[in-house]
Amino acid sequence: MIKIIKAHYQGDFQVALTFSDGSEGLFDGRVLLQRSGSLLVPLRGEAYFQRLFIDCGALCWPNGLELSPARLYESCHILEAT
């Protein structure tokens, strides 16, 4: 099972991710924010979006939004695999 082990906000709703298999990817949060949903509303503010953290290998925000590491792995642009 793939997990996120590191997440670093890059600016402009971009998040650099490191996965448990050693690969690194770039998650474009702007794609996520095009969707509708009450949990996404706070994330449209960049200051709130930056409050991301990792919990049990998933990318999370304080309002309870949690993104699946497997889904992020499939959808983000993989930069390199070590």
Domain spans of the chain, in order of start? 4-80
What is the pLDDT averaged over residues 44-63? 97
- What pLDDT digit, counting tens, does each position of 3-14 carry? 999 999 999 999
pLDDT at 51 over 60: yes
- For residues 63 and 79, the model is more confident at 63
Is 63 within 8 Å of 4 (Cβ atoms)? Answer: no
Question: For 36, left (φ over 0), alpha (ψ -120 to 50), or beta?
Answer: beta
- What pLDDT digit, counting tens, does each position of 8-48 carry? 999 999 999 999 999 999 999 999 999 999 999 999 999 99
Is 19 within 8 Å of 5 (Cβ atoms)? Answer: yes
CATH 2.70.70 fits 4-80, yes or no: no
Q: Which residues contact 18 (CB under 8 A, 6 or more apart)?
A: 4, 5, 6, 7, 24
